[in-house]
A and B are shown apart, each in its own frame.
Chain A
Amino acid sequence: MADATNTNAGAHADDATGPVLAADGSPLKSSLNKALRAQKLRALALIAPLLIFVMVTFIAPIVDMLFRSVENQIVSETLPRTVAELGDWDATSETLPDDDVYAALYYDLFIAAEYKNHTRLGSRLNYEQTGMSSMFRRVGRNVGDFGELYLDQFEDLDERWDEEADWAALMAHPGYLEDAAEWRDNRDADRIDPRDTPAPRFRLAPGIADLLPQTAQAYSQYAEFMRTEEQETADEDQPWTLVDTMLYNDLMAASEADIAAYSGPMADALQAAHAAVPEFETATLKELFIESDDEWANLDNWATIKVYAPNYTSGYFLTAVDMKLGPDGMVSQPEDQQIYGLLFKRTLFMSMAITISCILLGYPVAWLLANLPMRSANLLMILVLLPFWTSLLVRTSAWKVMLQQQGVINDVLVWLGVVGDGDRLIMINNQFGTIVAMTHILLPFMILPLYSVMQTIPPTYLRAAKSLGATPFTAFWRVYFPQSVPGIGAGSILVFILAIGYYITPEIVGGTSGTFISNRIAYHISSSLNWGLAAALGTILLGAVLILYWAYDRIVGIDNVKLGG
């Protein structure tokens, strides 16, 4: 706005008498613009530190939460080959995936089990399909033994297949072996800390990757695992049985001529093995998997893996609205598992009940405060502000004390003989307790905006209405009440926004039937560890609050937020 006026003024001056000059001889227009720009920059420079601070400490976490609610890299990171192979499999086809998928799964799971990632993946998928956690855990224990079959048969051919040094000679670059030996000496002599100076990076022997591609890949991964997880070099331990299985695959695929052409270390052992492998006893991986846990023959489990293979998923959001991502799109959860809809409805219902009780209790008080003489109003205001300023936990504990079965209210009622000692009222750990305690806690947030609106309504209006013949009720209802509606609106939205996201009070006085969606979020963060679902529930709640906040801004204006009267 200011920009526009300045430019116009400048243009005008141009027309009349040529450029108006500032004291330093530059045109007034540009010098005004310069001054304005400097002013803006100064303002921004003052705001910038705080803006950056809030961005980093607050906005970034919120964005992170939004991101987490759709993030789903764990499946494709843990089972990259399986996910790729599963691409061709049709989840609705009623047939199990083919052997290639199981082979890829073997490779992926072997590595995941070594890194102990498979349990994490299991618990992730278990949120979607119960039973998958134990399926991954069980197979994780067995998957290391699947290759024993080949290891034993290679070993029977030649003892060297059981020696780490011979394996290393076959697979590793001679330069790597030298570096490794030197690093090992240093480590054993305590000259270096393996955590600060990791073992040298593994290098494959020249040509081996072409001759035995799968073996080379598996061995490289083994070497990397030794380097990062065990702080050892590749030639310090026998390679995984995965490597033996891959060697079997490679030898089956390799041509006789290629093997014969190889002349490096272990050439004779390779040739002997190549001649022997067609006679090897074999086992299909599919059978091994199903033998270790027959859940691996369950189509639903495979469908779940396929559905949750992409890096981003709407699955958490669907769970949050009691739906489920199936192989053929979204489906509703079974009736008895629809808990979130109920929880959202309960949160809305209870927030509404709290808001309405706040209006009913707050309106008379605000009216009284606005119509009393200043001195007594200020005095009574203390009674409103004291609870407002008192620690939330103090008020919550006070309600716990009051509402308990052996608490103050029940004691008074028993003393008065209203209820018998045997049937004391149950007022806590249910919805009633939550509503009462939260009405008390949020009541000041209703009274203060109502009071500030009512103060602006001239009392003469009521008197005028009465003198024109209105009954007191008509005068109130037709004249006073409509003018106080903005206050009710402001207070209600404020109370509702605060109530909908409350955590502490429902947690303490709510029991199981009086809890809110926020308690569920907290449960998923700290107990069930389903962070994605917590983030999705939080995002939905945040969306609801932002819409309400937008409405509040429309009705009241955020600049009019007042604190403590």
Chain B
Amino acid sequence: MATVITLKKQPYSFVGPVSAAAGGFAGLFVGTAQGSGLLGIILGATLMAGLAYGLMTLDLPRKTVRLGIAAVFAAVGFLLSGPMGLIIGALFGAFFGWFPAWLADGKYRASLPPYLTAREVLWHYTFRIICGLIFFFLIAPIVVVMPLSFNAENFFTFTPEMLRLDPDGYSLKHYQDFFQSNDWQAALRNSLTIAPVATLLSVSFGTLAAIGLSQPHVPFRQVIMAILISPMIVPLIISAAGMYFFYSRIGLQGTYLGVVLAHAALGIPFVIITVTATLVGFDRSLTRAAANMGANPVTTFFRVQMPLILPGVISGGLFAFITSFDEVVVVLFVGSASQKTLPWQMFIGLREQISPTILAVATILVCLSIALLTTLELLRRRSERLRGMSPG
């Protein structure tokens, strides 16, 4: 877009009321928290209207003014409710120092097509706010867990000390509990002995079968695919029930092997799906070329095909690993007390004796999933790069 959009300065008749409305809205919350909502609205609205007027009439350097307002708000916040108030005040100040100026300079239209009507612009920002709230809904539960896991008390909620950012309100005792409790350590050990073996099983069988499935002529391809994908489709409780009945018939119920086999079966669809997806982009002339140059099928597989599909195999493996590592329904039925995994222990913790150690474990698991997510993303990029190199 080569057109230069000139930003129009907005009159106070627009900036003032909008700023006042925003101020009133914020004032409502601060006011109710401090005792009187109505007073908060009035104070907030007047303050913002005045602020907007000041900003528009006095032509001061914007940056300095913003910093100044943030500092003043922070100071007021600190006086009202300590260190936490300082942070909240600074955030509020930064926003309200910026907001009237943003409106007044017309910058809010900068990224939008110039032909939009005022209502459309309003809808655009309302929509953004709605989306923001949905993202907040998605991420808030996970974020809330983290600070709570450092709680010094055995509560599942923020204590006044925590809100005051008092160091005494925080401790690592739940982490200590996790690392010192026999139950949790045994559970961690079980998870770490079950998941890798199950992953290994599903990856080795799954990769082989995915290569078979991507051959040009496979009889009954649809049926085979449906069978192999079925562990992902069938609800876990049904898989768990069936496995419980069947494995107790053949003596696998309550054994390590039983749990590993069950988890391997659950992980297989993920391996099949990711590896076949990688193989779709695989150039068959490479294997033919390798064969042409005298490589036997095994060498071809390990030296030519494997390195190219490796990202797919690894991400399938990661899926299988996380499936097993995260799985609780099937292990609850197929396993016995000596196969108690981490999710199982958490499940018991949530149902019976509620202890914040669960939150510490949850935080560790969130960090683990962030690591996994990053790995997967890097693998995806690598896979794309590799495919870009291969001809066709």
Q: Chain A interface (Cβ within 8 Å of chain B)?
A: 2, 36, 39-40, 42-47, 49-51, 53-55, 57-65, 68, 361, 364-365, 368, 380, 382-387, 389-402, 404, 406-408, 411, 415-418, 440, 443-444, 472, 497-498, 500-504, 507-508, 518, 521-522, 525-526, 531, 534-535, 538, 541-542, 545-546, 549, 558-559, 561-564
Contact B145 A397 (CB under 8 A): yes
- Contact call B237/A365, Cβ cutoff below 8 A: no
Task: Collect the chain B residues with CB atoms within 8 Å of residue A559's CB.
Answer: 225
Question: CB-CB < 8 A to B358: which residues of A?
Answer: 397
One of B86-94, B202-210, B382-390 at the interface: B202-210
- Nearest CB on A from B200, distance (A): 13
B213 within 8 A of A: yes
- Give, as a whole number of angstroms, the nearest-CB distance from A317 to chain B: 15
Other-chain residue from B148, B215, B226 in contact with A43 (beta carbon distance below 8 A): B215
Report how far A390 CA is from B363 CA in the complex, Å: 10
A-B contacts, 23 of them at CB < 8 A, read A2-B217, A43-B212, A53-B201, A54-B228, A59-B227, A60-B246, A62-B239, A384-B138, A386-B369, A386-B370, A390-B369, A393-B362, A394-B362, A394-B366, A397-B346, A398-B144, A398-B362, A401-B145, A402-B144, A416-B33, A498-B235, A518-B235, A521-B237
Q: In the complex the two chains form, is A46's CB within 8 Å of B328's CB?
A: no
Residues of A close to B205: CB separation below 8 A: 49-50, 53
Known: A386-B373, A392-B326, A561-B273. A47 touches B245 (CB 8 A): no
Complex Cα–Cα for A164 and B327 (A)? 58
The one of A45, A57, A62, A562 that contacts B261, using a Cβ cutoff of 8 Å: A57
Which residue on chain A has the smallest CB distance to residue B237?
A: A518
Q: How many residues on B have C-beta within 8 angstroms of the other chain's C-beta atoms? A: 93
Does B127 sit at the interface, judged by CB under 8 A?
Answer: yes
State the CA gap A408–B359 with chains docked (Å).
14
- Tell me if A383 and B138 are in contact (CB < 8 A): yes
- Name which residue of chain A comes closest to B209, CB basis: A50
- Contact between chains at A58 and B370 (CB < 8 Å): no
Residue numbers of B with Cβ under 8 A of A are 29, 32-33, 37, 120, 123, 127-128, 130-131, 134-135, 137-142, 144-145, 148, 155-158, 201, 205-206, 208-209, 211-213, 215-219, 224-231, 233-247, 249, 261-262, 264-265, 268, 270, 273-274, 277, 319, 322, 325-326, 328-329, 333, 343, 346-347, 350-351, 358-359, 362, 365-366, 369-370, 372-373, 376
Given A50, A68, A518, A561, which contacts B228 in the complex, CB threshold below 8 Å?
Answer: A50
A518 to B234 Cα, complex, angstroms: 12
Give bound CA distance, A390 to B368, whole Å: 8
Q: A380-B135, A389-B369 are in contact. Are A545 and B235 (CB under 8 A)?
A: yes
B246 touches A542 (CB 8 A): no
| Docked pose: A391 CA to B268 CA in angstroms | 19
Contact B148 A558 (CB under 8 A): no
Q: Which residues of A have CB within 8 Å of B156?
A: 400-401, 404, 406-407
6 closest residue pairs by CB, A with B:
A501-B235, A46-B212, A61-B242, A398-B141, A61-B246, A50-B209
When distances are taken between beta carbons in the complex, the residues of chain B under 8 Å from A44 are 212, 218-219
Q: When the two chains form their complex, are residues B350 and A391 in contact, meaning their CB atoms are under 8 A apart?
A: no
Contacting residue for A402 out of B138, B141, B155, CB 8 A: B141
Across-interface contacts of A361 in B (CB, < 8 A):
134, 137
Given A46-B209, A387-B142, A391-B325: 9 more A-B contacts, CB < 8 Å: A44-B212, A53-B268, A61-B245, A64-B242, A65-B242, A364-B131, A394-B365, A502-B235, A563-B273
* Closest chain B CB from A404 CB (angstroms): 6
A501 touches B227 (CB 8 A): no
Contact B372 A389 (CB under 8 A): yes
Known: A58-B230, A395-B141, A518-B237. A50 touches B208 (CB 8 A): yes
Cβ of A262 to closest chain B Cβ, rounded Å: 48
